[in-house]
């Protein structure tokens, strides 16, 4: 939103969804004659930021959200105070329409849908790629197209991933004597608020990801749940992935994160908007997540940021990445990121060591990690074809990669469908052989 004074524009945000509050977004101020001033905006509910502009006249204020949708508003810079609202509710402004013209029922209905159903409105408007949605339309909280009962998303109690010597992994669950079906328990609609993550307690250095098994549309999926101080997980049908019986058969999994700054940065990168990510990276680098103390306090935000720095080719934070990899000994993603950092430095031996470490730690928490682990080991295998350990690790990583839904934020592997299965119930738990 914009107010005007002395050739400046004050942008005020309203209707900011929770997971964007505190984030930094790239913002454009477009003058009437088409000149664009590119800057960044810190997003807070009802928060205001003032930008100087060179000329008076009509300005368009726009920002592209991490999911690719645009928010647009206009403002008249003429020295008079004038307000135009830029609302995040639905990528369109909550303009005077809702305030002045709509009847009460419509307005209350509108408002009831805004805070937690940001994604739902996204889908209604079809203004974005569903599979890369910043806020996925969750299966479990939607009451129209995807009834959780009808669609049968079932989730097991979560397990810990242990690497075995034969390149398989054991998913150890408390209910080890039950059959597979009895592992499955229907999760109520409030699952997104669940706090069943047992790996996010105590010292962050002891944190570990949880692995879940989901039954969706007749197929079993293994998914990763990164630890967080406020753990919540969202499932969504992948409407972009073609399936035998139409789209939506495959599953997308997204986790909430403590830091909206890191999440937004990571999502710009996932969408391929590296230019946007680059615009807000300096701001991220100045925040606590990129500092040692911040990393210890919130390792997931640090990992998301590290993924972006790696993609953008930032080599100034190598020691920081090493620290990330070695400090959190139960999180595979830090080891993958630092392994790639060494790979880019031309240190193949050290890169291989860290990739082996990552595999020992378990499934990568994020799909980006699945991709990087597979590509990194494949590269090393082509570089060092005689190294048997690398060859075996590369094969294992490739098989994980081949099962993964690459559009899912968190790792989500198709492990059993139709006549084939990569999982087996044993007395110790579920054995997953990639």
Partner 1 sequence: MALIFADGYTGAESLATLFAQQEKARANVEALRNRPDVTSAQRNAALGEREDAQFAYENAVAIAEVAIKSQPGDRAHAIVIGVGRYNDPSIPTVTTSVRGAWAFTEWLLTEYTHPNRPLGSVELLLSATNDPGDYMPSPSAALRIGVATGSTLPGEAATFGNIQVAYTRWLERARQHSQNAALFYFSGHGLWKNKPYPLPEDAQIASNTQPFARLINIADTVIDQATYQPGLQCYFVDACQTLPTQLLENTTAEPGTVLNQPNNGAWVERDVHLYYGSRPGRAAYGPADAPPFFTQELLECLRKRGAQTNPIGGKWIVSTASLREALGAAANRRSVQEKVKLQFLDKSENVGLSNELCHLSEMPEVFVRLFCYPPHTFADAHLFVEPTGAPRTERAPSAPNEWYTLVPYGPCLAGATFAPPPAWSCPTANFTPTPPMMPVLLTLDPVVAAGDGGTQ
CA 216 to chain centroid: 20
Encoded one letter per residue, x for contact with partner 1 by CB under 8 A and - for no contact, window 369-388 reads ------x--xx--xx-----
Encoded one letter per residue, x for contact with partner 1 by CB under 8 A and - for no contact, window 291-330 reads --------------------xxx-----------------
Query: Which segment (18-26, 48-56, 124-132, 156-164) binds partner 1 by CB under 8 A?
Result: 124-132
Residue with tokens 């031309």: 346
Task: Determine the Cα–Cα distance for residues 334 and 328; give it in Å rounded to an integer.
Answer: 8
Cross-strand pairs, 40:
26
Residue from 39, 52, 101, 292 touching partner 1 (CB under 8 A): that is 101
Encoded one letter per residue, x for contact with partner 1 by CB under 8 A and - for no contact, window 178-197 reads --------------------
Cβ closest to partner 1, residue 241 vs residue 358: 241
Q: Residue 423: name the closest of 193, 217, 257, 211 by CA.
A: 211
Cβ closest to partner 1, residue 228 vs residue 281: 281
Which residues are CB-neighbours of 202 under 8 A, at least 6 positions away?
Answer: none
The upper half-sphere exposure of residue 190, i.e. CA atoms within 13 Å in the direction of its Cβ, equals 4
Assess contact for 232 and 193: CB atoms under 8 A: yes
Query: Which segment (19-27, 137-145, 252-260, 337-345) binds partner 1 by CB under 8 A?
Result: 337-345
Encoded one letter per residue, x for contact with partner 1 by CB under 8 A and - for no contact, window 22-61 reads ------x-xxxxxxx-x-------------------x-x-
Is 90 an interacting residue with respect to partner 1 (CB under 8 A)? yes
Assess contact for 279 and 259: CB atoms under 8 A: no
Cβ closest to partner 1, residue 322 vs residue 378: 378
| Number of residues lying near partner 1 (CB under 8 A) | 58
Cβ closest to partner 1, residue 67 vs residue 298: 67
Buried b (16+ CB within 10 A) or exposed e, 207-226: bbbbbbbbbbbebbbbbbbb
Evaluated on CA atoms 122, 123, 128, 129, the torsion sign reads positive
Q: Which 386-425 positions form the footprint of partner 1 (CB under 8 A)?
A: 395, 398-399, 401-402, 406
Task: Determine the Cα–Cα distance for residues 322 and 326; give it in Å rounded to an integer.
Answer: 6
Q: Residue 238: name the closest of 409, 80, 391, 374 by CA.
A: 409
Cβ closest to partner 1, residue 101 vs residue 360: 101
- The least distance separating partner 1 from the CB of residue 272, rounded to whole angstroms, comes to 6
Assess contact for 230 and 218: CB atoms under 8 A: no
Task: Determine the Cα–Cα distance for residues 192 and 142; give it in Å rounded to an integer.
Answer: 12
Cβ closest to partner 1, residue 170 vs residue 310: 310
Task: List residues near partner 1 by CB under 8 A.
Answer: 28, 30-36, 38, 58, 60, 62, 70, 72-74, 90-93, 95, 97, 100-103, 106, 124-127, 240-242, 272-275, 278, 311-313, 343-346, 348, 375, 378-379, 382-383, 395, 398-399, 401-402, 406
């Amino acid at each position: 939103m914009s107010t005007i004074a002395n050739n400046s524009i004050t942008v005020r945000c309203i209707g900011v969804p929770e997971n964007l509050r505190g984030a930094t977004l790239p913002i454009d101020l477009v003058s009437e004659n088409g000149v664009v001033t590119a800057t960044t905006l810190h997003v807070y509910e009802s928060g205001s930021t003032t930008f100087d502009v060179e000329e008076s006249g009509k300005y368009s204020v726009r920002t592209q959200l991490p999911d690719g949708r645009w928010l647009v508003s206009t403002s008249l810079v003429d020295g008079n105070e004038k307000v135009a609202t830029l609302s995040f509710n639905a990528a369109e402004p909550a303009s005077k329409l809702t305030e002045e013209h709509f009847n009460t029922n419509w307005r209350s209905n509108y408002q009831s849908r805004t805070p937690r159903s940001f994604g739902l409105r996204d889908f209604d408007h079809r203004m974005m790629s569903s599979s890369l949605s910043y806020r996925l339309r969750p299966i479990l909280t939607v009451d129209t197209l995807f009834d959780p009962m009808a669609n049968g998303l079932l989730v097991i109690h979560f397990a810990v991933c242990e690497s075995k010597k034969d390149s398989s992994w054991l998913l150890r669950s408390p209910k080890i004597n039950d059959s597979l079906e009895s592992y499955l328990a229907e999760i109520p609609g409030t699952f997104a608020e669940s706090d069943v993550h047992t790996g996010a307690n105590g010292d962050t250095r002891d944190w570990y990801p949880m692995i879940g098994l989901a039954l969706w549309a007749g197929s079993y999926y293994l998914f990763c749940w990164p630890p967080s101080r406020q753990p919540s997980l969202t499932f969504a049908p992948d409407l972009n992935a073609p399936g035998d019986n139409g789209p939506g058969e495959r599953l997308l999994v997204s986790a909430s994160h403590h830091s909206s700054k890191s999440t937004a940065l990571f999502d710009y990168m996932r969408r391929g908007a590296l230019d946007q990510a680059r615009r807000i990276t300096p701001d991220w680098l100045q925040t606590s997540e990129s500092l040692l103390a911040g990393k210890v306090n919130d390792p997931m935000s640090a990992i998301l940021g590290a993924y972006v720095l790696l993609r953008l080719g930032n080599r100034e934070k190598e020691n920081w990445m090493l620290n990330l990899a070695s400090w959190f000994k139960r999180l595979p993603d830090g080891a993958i990121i630092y392994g790639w950092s060494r790979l880019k430095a031309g240190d193949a031996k050290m890169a291989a060591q860290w990739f082996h470490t990552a595999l020992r730690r378990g499934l990568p928490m994020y799909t980006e990690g699945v991709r990087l682990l597979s590509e990194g080991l494949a590269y090393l295998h082509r570089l060092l074809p005689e190294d048997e350990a690398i060859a075996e690790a590369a094969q294992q990583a490739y098989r994980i990669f081949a099962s993964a839904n690459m559009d899912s934020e968190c790792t989500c592997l198709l492990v059993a469908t139709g006549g084939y299965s990569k999982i087996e119930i044993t007395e110790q738990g579920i054995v997953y052989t990639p």
